[in-house]
Amino acid sequence: LQNNPPYNAGAFRFELAFSSNHPLVPPSATLRTRIYHPGVDSEGRVCQPLTTRERWEPTTRAIQVLQDLLLHLDSPDPQRMLRPDLARELQERPELFWHRAEEHVRLYAEPRPDTPGP
Per-residue pLDDT band at 72 (split at 50, 70, 90): confident
- Tell me which residues are annotated as active site: 47
Residue-wise pLDDT for 15-41, tens only, equals 999 999 999 999 998 999 999 999 999
Domains of the chain (ranges; CATH) run 14-108 (3.10.110.10)
- Output the pLDDT for position 1: 42
Stated pTM of the model:
0.85
- From CA 75, how far away is CA 37, in angstroms rounded? 10
Do residues 108 and 7 make contact, with C-beta atoms less than 8 angstroms apart? no
